[in-house]
Structure 1
Amino acid sequence: MAQFPNVTYPDAISPNPNVVLGAQTNQTSPPRYPSPWGTGAGEWATAYEKAIAIVEQLVLEEKVNLTTGSGWQQEQCVGQTGGIPRLGIRGQCLQDSPVGVRYTDFVSLFPAGINVGATWDRRLAYERGKAMGLESRDKGVTVQLGPNAGALGRSPTAGRNWEGFSPDPYLTGKLFADSIRGIQSTGVQASAKHYVGNEQEHFRQTPESRDYGFNITQPGSSNIDDQTLHELYVWPFADAVKAGVASVMCSYNLVNNSQACQNSYLLNHVLKSELGFQGYVMSDWQATASGTMAGDIRFGDGLSYFGPNLTIAVLNGTVPQWRLDDMVVRILAGWYLVGGDTEVPHPNFQSWTPDTFGPVHAHVGSTWGTGLVNQHVDVRREHGRLIREIGGASTVLLKNTHGTLPLNNMARLTAVFGEDAGSNPLGPNGCRNHACDVGTLAVGWGSGQASSPYLISPDAAIQHEVVSRYGSYESITNNSAFTQINALARRVRDNAGSGEGFANVDGNLGDRKNLTLWQGADAVIANVSATCNNTVLVIHSVGAVEIDQYKDNPNITAILWAGLPGEQSGYAIADVLFGRVNPGAKLPFTMGRNRSDYGTDVLYTPNQEVPQYNFQEGVFIDYRGFDHRNVTPVYEFGFGLSYTTFEYSGLVIEKLNVAKYQPTTGFSGPAPTYGTIDNDTSAHTFPGNLNESYGATGFGDDSFIPENALNGTSFEHSPSSGPNGGNLYLWDILYHVRVNVTNTGKVVGDEVAQLYVSLGGPFDPKIILRGFERVTIDPGQTVQVTFPLARRDLSNWDTVKQDWVITEHIKTVYAGSSSRDLPLNAVLE
């Protein structure tokens, strides 16, 4: 077991008083201007050259058109921008979701991000991203709205945690980056979301909250100190930028009481300066209050902050030409970076109807023409194989007493109980946006879901397995049938779901109300386990659930967490139950005894007109918080059993000869402009004379413009800044840590070797994940696993220096099979 350093923490919500002071109600975000202009550094160079060559040819209206969305339900995709027909430049088709192509047919429903997190497998993250990218591309989508690293997972009940990978920023960052690489290898741009602090669904939007009866005047504000922001929530986005992500989507919430989608500190300073992001920022739909929304201001209102308003702003000087040119170059460069100009066809579907023929522009109806709107192109290939593989590879074996699993010997009677085992009587897509909990749970609800071409239920798959062996099988998928359940008790299945805040499922407004199982499952489990001493419990859920009572129940001999496995759900669990797949998954989050164990929670009732979420726990979320407060979990982060056993030995550290860290200094060059703009307002007359209708001249008061916002002479480089991911020295590998892992059992199996680091400071977590690798090992075989430790992995964010620093505190590495099973340790010199 792990031997943690002897650190005594003061009595406080967070061990660092500066963190508490930096997460206060009504605190404000510092302004940072100007918005840094892109340079086309590194892998972006050719894409920028192509983009600039186009922008130099454009007139003002054409530049504006590339930045402006068509509005909700006006075109085929959930988001669509203008193009330049005379130059063959098409508008962008932006389409959900992080699990597949939303609002169309003949596409795959992939496992959720949280399942990819449970695989701890970078190859599977890449392959899933690639498969989703191929399906998006073949539907004509140029930008996939995913993957998701925000919500990160501050609160276990948060509604959209399942769309991401893990509350650990390191695990999320690696799988986030590999997913992006997979998507963009197909010619489709990824949009990394939601940046940043989007940690609950309650109060994310003012109109939505008012519909639920909450009287708020602004979305909720995530109040986060600078160190926590960098070390936790921005960390995965640095990996995304390093991976070359084309787009970043900003979020609905405020951060330090400034809209995330127009927060100059987050966007200008952190993302574009510190991380050196070369792509473009898009807002979430309706996520702005003044100036960055690409599309209508409110769904269907026909208004836009862009379009004519942006044209006017350029003409009257409140938006300089260099700022507009930078916007357009970034947008086009993202397209060229991934080869989307040659790879992606035009959209062959329409999001707003499943019909083959219908209105070309759904919002306005048939007045503006009808025609072929859905070609029903089947883009799935054989992605079901990969989905099934990920489903099995992400199923975590939590308990297995008496060798209950795998089911090698057929019982006289196999019975399955629970509504989660069965099918939705209305079909796999019977609830729009999957906003219900009927039948087996394969995905959460909201914009993060996709249609399913079929859904293999556990009942169907297990029945096929048993009957094909000529066994006896019965199932009861009505949780209220207590009499019949008591008479036939053998196996149980249950679930707990969540999703996006626009849908209310049984009083769960996106965020879960609790961590208990749904559908009356607890009563079913109690009935079955009371009469059957060999009960197997399978859980489909969006994240952590309260299962302490089942861990300690001697009649429940096996427990599996299967997450949200997508369309192949039943086959995936059957593969594990019957031993075709030896479970190698690990929990990507902590399972506590109750929700208070986590030390964080969703704010369910407004605490003022602008709700305030004060992140005073700092970096101490999930296992970091459990360790800090000395709370024993039911199952720890990184935990997972196998049908075989593993042993760790031989930890060796190799220190590499690497150059000393050098902070970035100096200033940028001046902002470039491309082409000229005719400032004669009479030359810009669509959709009317701008001078008369929109006030393009004689603007008057410009006191609202922030200081330096119009300054295109230069900007100062921050110490941690650098192209495409931040200061290049941060990515230097300082150490290789090697451990031996031996399969001491009788069957081949996968083990996820994990490396944790203690940074050693009085306000640091006891340990933090800093390496993992999933390896397949034959019986009796020993495999050496190498963990590279980068400078960034051993650094803290210094709020005074505004840079990453390696402190003088002793750094200790720990290796093993979970966050609380770490038999090997050594000090880094």
Structure 2
Amino acid sequence: MGFTNAEFNGCNGKSGGVPRLGFPGYCLNNAENGVGGAEGVNAYPAALHVGASWNRELAYARGMHMGREFRRKGVNMALGPSIGPLGRSPKGGRCRNWEAPSNDPYLTGMLIHDTTAGMQKYVIANIKHIVGNEQEASRKYPRFLPAPNHNASISSNIDDKTMHELYLWPFMDALRAGGASVMCSYNRVNNSDACQNSKVLNGLLKQELGFQGFVVSDWFMQQSGVASALAGLDMVMPIAPYWADGNLTQMVNNGSVSMTRLNDMVTRILAPWYKIGSQSEEDGRPPGHGIPASLVQPHEFVDARSPDSKPVILQSAIEGHVLVKNVNKALPLRKPKFISIFGYDAAGQFMNTAEAAGFNLWKMGMRNALQFQNGTTFTAAALDLLFGSSLEQTTTGPEIALNGTLFTGGGSGAVVGSIDAPLDAFKRQAYDDGTYLAWDIQTPNPTVNAGSEACLVFINALGSESWDRRNLSDAYSDGIITSVASQCNNTMVVIHSVGVRLVDEWFDHPNITAVILGHLPGQDSGRALVELMYGRQSFSGRLPYTVAKQEADYGHVLDPVQPSDKTPYYPQVNFTEGVYIDYKHFIKEGIEPRFAFGYGLTYTDFEYSNLQIDVDANATSLRLPPNPEHILQGGIDSLWDEVARVRCTIENIGDVAAKEVAQLYIGIPGGPEKVLRGFEKQLLVPGERGVFEFGLTRRDLSTWNVMEQSWELQRGDYGVFVGKSVLDVPLTGRFEIGDVTQCYLASNRTLGEDAFASQGTTQNFQGQQGYLGGAISIVAWCRGVGRALLPARQARRRQRKAYRHSVPTTQFHLFPSNFAYRTRTTANKLAYDYQLCPPASSPSDQSHFDILSLVPHALLAKHHQPIMSDYVNEFDLTDFMDTPPTSPGFEQPTTSECLDQIDWENPNYKDLASVDWNALHEEIIGVVLGEPADEQLQPDDR
């Protein structure tokens, strides 16, 4: 296994080649914010920074330019982008670290989809890590490496619903974009190692999500030979102790692993190279030719950078900054005469040569942190366990990086020869403006010159793979801020951080006028900040996570779980919070955050108006996704069918051009009050109005049904919230998906107007049929759609009649005109074909209601639009129902009670005034039952 050519030694991972097939082997390399371990490349803003930009176009462009640099370096497989850890715990080293865009699955999914699509124009992307690696504590050591203990890795115990709706969700988007490889994680999932968990790899990933590529292990994490092969592991990195030296061949020869499975591995590994990776060898050079084994030894310099990547890097850096405080328009700065700069994060690294203090200082991120704030040296010994292993559970890393500005995170960041640090950029701006610039970046309690018009304080918060964060703030940095603020009445704070950083210690200080969360902006850190703080561009970043007022507000997920007395060797973490992490947790528990998810200020104001909601009544009438056998990468193809669309108008009512990020949240029946389901970012000049649109797919409106093992549209009232953050939503509305109808309300409508909206649009209704359908929908709606029929027949009548209690309605053209229910023997097949009930059981109550719901609109079409009468068919429903649905305590209102709620004074209803509703209802019953409407059922039939 591995290359024989020494040129390949710089690759993080290597695979063997097959010369007769022209396959040279894989060179795998880290890819968190650029090509890892190489010079001549750019250091891009981190994924977290892209998450704060809420900009899908930038995510794609960043991925594409990164991918091109990999290709030019001879890397044909990039180890990124990262989805998991998603970010369950705010203290998680990688979890709420810099490697993924957000702890919201929708935002992460959208941005990783575009990043993957961009990268794979040039290089194979590796989507990682599946799944549940939500803390670094108790991360397992490889069995064959020295370790302080041999405990099993922490088990992330995740229920099926939470797995699908939270942790698996963004993987669906990455695979939908064509992700060609996936990395399994260090942890166990429900007590089975993730890299040999058949449910995860074979069941969820390859079967349910239709993954066609290959699964590679995280470094050194193959745990067995036969079991891992059968569980779905295809490639092992960096070495394969259980498969090498003929072991895998022997497994196949003795029948432990089938030849079919071996061929499956080979096909999955080779196919992505022929589709994507082979482009890397178009110049005939071998993989990894630009990744030297040592940067400090003589080697060929391969410059992979391109001039057209510079605008993307800068704009990505700009848009990931989030302005969270700006008192009395302290920003933007307007050619001040005197500025003072403080804080250890302002300048670039003070040394970037090799082998300083026992390790390579030019490697950024965690290796950039020389000391704890109390002066304790962070030595190379602590780094021995960084990659492919774990720290002891009591070990924590430094909280801040004192060796210059933090522009990337710890673990596997890109190498860069120089960065534009904030202090450098402000020196240039001061030179241009004639501003006097003073700075003291080392003193914990600096003296502030009384003539300072503005005082800028730079701090950071560090995190890394291999350890979890101890705190979400630190006293050393807070002390610098409060010291400066006590002397300067225009103090501005800039925080570069890997995620959540609490600010309540000083945020309300009257002398602190502006606060910027700068995240990890990459090599253009200073240049981007000057562009923003001097007003050449307005801030447009929004928080991709929630900032609490105190640590305890995050609840029991705050601290990573440690082994207990009950589980000292097999540590367990139970995800009992379900999907309620971050903002969903805060809303559920009624906790007011310091900064809400999606929050961010600009230099202007925006006004929201004209909310419109369109629902496709046909698409939403099926409870489960149609054509379940049609699975593409990412899952059932119909899950991505658009079933609704939301629009609104936003106007820039200020005097500065700025980008607004409009956010759509949906309240799904039975779920969290709000979940992010759309966002759009537009630049608006003063006075300009823009139309923002959000398409909603079937998946967006569905929840995971554990019993049916399928995504399911919920029946009931869906809330619609459009605004500037999860808590600032100036536009609200709703729509209803009933068992057989859709009613929705986008403004102040009457009950009757709301029902009229069931014809598939929110306005411009035409024709009498639309009004009648709307009125009938009112009847169905207030009569309790989900309880439509209560068939409790005596045995002698059960084969011939169905008891009527009330009748639901729907769009009549749901099924083809030749659809007719025939005999009970076809019940399962028809119900399965139309996804009305699970195939392994008899037709559910839900299918009864859906099939019967064809009749009312068909009847209306027969009476009021003869051209549609072809849709009225012979329905033989006599053999349909076996057992009655139960409805304890449910009381149906009468038709008259429902009709009393209609606003008959509304001129739109003038054509309905003469309708004999009771007679029409009786006629509908007659059509449904296939018997005279006046045939009354006896009490004992109920």
In 1, Cα distance between the equivalents of 2:236 and 2:409? Answer: 27
Q: Partner of 2:294 in structure 1?
A: 353
The aligned runs of 1:326-345 (5 Å cut-off) are 326-338=264-276, 340-341=278-279, 345=285
Runs of 4+ in 1 over 6 A off after TM superposition: 68-74, 208-212, 293-297, 484-489
2:346 maps to a residue whose letter is A
| Alpha-carbon shift at residue 606 of structure 1 (Å) | 2.0
Please tell me whether residue 514 in structure 1 is matched to residue 440 in structure 2. no
In 2, Cα distance between the equivalents of 1:351 and 1:251? Answer: 27
In 2, Cα distance between the equivalents of 1:219 and 1:744? Answer: 54
Please tell me whether residue 574 in structure 1 is matched to residue 530 in structure 2. yes
2:81 maps to a residue whose letter is P
1:98–1:556 CA distance, 2 compared to 1 (3 A) = same
1:464–1:328 CA distance, 2 compared to 1 (3 A) = same
| Alpha-carbon shift at residue 432 of structure 1 (Å) | 3.8
Q: 2:323 aligns with which of 397, 415, 419?
A: 397
1:152–1:91 CA distance, 2 compared to 1 (3 A) = same
In 2, Cα distance between the equivalents of 1:416 and 1:212? Answer: 45
| Alpha-carbon shift at residue 433 of structure 1 (Å) | 5.3
Q: Partner of 1:281 in structure 2?
A: 215
1:744–1:665 CA distance, 2 compared to 1 (3 A) = closer
Please tell me whether residue 182 in structure 1 is matched to residue 113 in structure 2. no
CA contact (8 A) 1:539 1:561 kept: yes
Q: Partner of 2:348 in structure 1?
A: 423
| Alpha-carbon shift at residue 582 of structure 1 (Å) | 0.5
Q: Partner of 1:739 in structure 2?
A: 648
Q: 1:455 aligns with which of 419, 430, 447?
A: 419
In 1, Cα distance between the equivalents of 2:77 and 2:132? Answer: 23
2:436 maps to a residue whose letter is S
Please tell me whether residue 546 in structure 1 is matched to residue 502 in structure 2. yes
Q: Partner of 2:126 in structure 1?
A: 191
CA contact (8 A) 1:391 1:565 kept: yes
| Alpha-carbon shift at residue 542 of structure 1 (Å) | 0.5
Q: Partner of 1:25 in structure 2?
A: none
Please tell me whether residue 612 in structure 1 is matched to residue 580 in structure 2. no
In 1, Cα distance between the equivalents of 2:674 and 2:652? Answer: 26
1:237 maps to a residue whose letter is F
In 2, Cα distance between the equivalents of 1:820 and 1:137? Answer: 43
1:71–1:765 CA distance, 2 compared to 1 (3 A) = farther
SS in 2 for 1:75: helix
Q: Partner of 1:785 in structure 2?
A: 692
Q: Which deviates more, 115-124 or 800-809?
A: 800-809
1:490–1:212 CA distance, 2 compared to 1 (3 A) = farther
Q: 1:123 aligns with which of 52, 57, 74?
A: 57
1:73–1:513 CA distance, 2 compared to 1 (3 A) = farther
CA deviation profile, 1:243-265 (whole Å, cap 9, x unmatched): 11000111011011101111100
CA deviation profile, 1:213-268 (whole Å, cap 9, x unmatched): 5x451111111111000000000000011111000111011011101111100111
In 2, Cα distance between the equivalents of 1:495 and 1:342? Answer: 38
| Alpha-carbon shift at residue 184 of structure 1 (Å) | 0.4
1:176 maps to a residue whose letter is I
In 2, Cα distance between the equivalents of 1:127 and 1:759? Answer: 33
Q: 1:467 aligns with which of 431, 446, 451?
A: 431
Please tell me whether residue 407 in structure 1 is matched to residue 315 in structure 2. no
2:411 maps to a residue whose letter is G
SS in 2 for 1:163: coil
Q: Partner of 1:766 in structure 2?
A: 673
| Alpha-carbon shift at residue 533 of structure 1 (Å) | 1.0
SS in 1 for 2:635: coil
* Structure with max Cα Rg: 2
1:120 maps to a residue whose letter is W
| Alpha-carbon shift at residue 212 of structure 1 (Å) | 8.5
The aligned runs of 1:476-515 (5 Å cut-off) are 476-480=440-444, 482-483=446-447, 490-501=455-466, 509=467, 511-515=468-472
1:479–1:382 CA distance, 2 compared to 1 (3 A) = farther
SS in 2 for 1:482: coil
| Alpha-carbon shift at residue 83 of structure 1 (Å) | 1.0
The TM-score with structure 2 as length reference comes to: 0.69
Q: 1:312 aligns with which of 241, 250, 259?
A: 250
1:141–1:662 CA distance, 2 compared to 1 (3 A) = farther
CA contact (8 A) 1:156 1:544 kept: yes
CA contact (8 A) 2:422 2:529 kept: yes
1:386–1:380 CA distance, 2 compared to 1 (3 A) = same
| Alpha-carbon shift at residue 336 of structure 1 (Å) | 2.3
SS in 1 for 2:98: helix
2:216 maps to a residue whose letter is M
In 1, Cα distance between the equivalents of 2:3 and 2:84? Answer: 24
1:316–1:73 CA distance, 2 compared to 1 (3 A) = farther
| Alpha-carbon shift at residue 807 of structure 1 (Å) | 1.7
In 2, Cα distance between the equivalents of 1:797 and 1:70? Answer: 48
SS in 2 for 1:621: coil
CA contact (8 A) 2:448 2:487 kept: no
SS in 1 for 2:88: coil
1:150 maps to a residue whose letter is G
The aligned runs of 1:701-716 (5 Å cut-off) are none
| Alpha-carbon shift at residue 544 of structure 1 (Å) | 0.8
CA contact (8 A) 1:658 1:733 kept: no
1:824–1:663 CA distance, 2 compared to 1 (3 A) = closer
1:815–1:295 CA distance, 2 compared to 1 (3 A) = closer
The aligned runs of 1:784-803 (5 Å cut-off) are 784-803=691-710
CA contact (8 A) 2:324 2:517 kept: yes
| Alpha-carbon shift at residue 539 of structure 1 (Å) | 0.7
SS in 2 for 1:735: strand
SS in 1 for 2:38: coil
Q: 2:305 aligns with which of 379, 383, 402?
A: 379
Unpaired stretches in structure 1, ≥5 consecutive residues = 1-64, 358-372, 502-508, 667-718
SS in 1 for 2:434: coil
Please tell me whether residue 629 in structure 1 is matched to residue 589 in structure 2. yes
1:588 maps to a residue whose letter is P
Identity value in percent: 41
1:418–1:231 CA distance, 2 compared to 1 (3 A) = same
Q: Partner of 1:77 in structure 2?
A: 11
1:662–1:322 CA distance, 2 compared to 1 (3 A) = farther
Q: Partner of 2:826 in structure 1?
A: none
Q: 1:146 aligns with which of 67, 80, 83?
A: 80
1:171–1:204 CA distance, 2 compared to 1 (3 A) = same
Q: Which deviates more, 580-589 or 724-733?
A: 724-733
Q: Partner of 2:788 in structure 1?
A: none
SS in 1 for 2:182: strand
Please tell me whether residue 443 in structure 1 is matched to residue 443 in structure 2. no
The TM-score with structure 1 as length reference comes to: 0.78
| Alpha-carbon shift at residue 540 of structure 1 (Å) | 0.4
The aligned runs of 1:637-652 (5 Å cut-off) are 637-652=597-612
Q: 1:260 aligns with which of 189, 194, 200?
A: 194
In 2, Cα distance between the equivalents of 1:210 and 1:167? Answer: 33
CA contact (8 A) 2:58 2:316 kept: yes
SS in 1 for 2:439: strand
1:340–1:656 CA distance, 2 compared to 1 (3 A) = farther
| Alpha-carbon shift at residue 641 of structure 1 (Å) | 0.4
Q: Partner of 1:528 in structure 2?
A: 484
1:729–1:261 CA distance, 2 compared to 1 (3 A) = same
CA contact (8 A) 2:73 2:291 kept: no
| Alpha-carbon shift at residue 453 of structure 1 (Å) | 2.5
Q: Partner of 2:722 in structure 1?
A: 815
In 2, Cα distance between the equivalents of 1:120 and 1:734? Answer: 24
| Alpha-carbon shift at residue 655 of structure 1 (Å) | 1.8
1:354–1:83 CA distance, 2 compared to 1 (3 A) = same
| Alpha-carbon shift at residue 98 of structure 1 (Å) | 1.9
CA contact (8 A) 1:397 1:641 kept: yes
CA contact (8 A) 2:338 2:435 kept: yes
2:569 maps to a residue whose letter is E
- The CA RMSD measured in Å over matched residues stands at 2.6
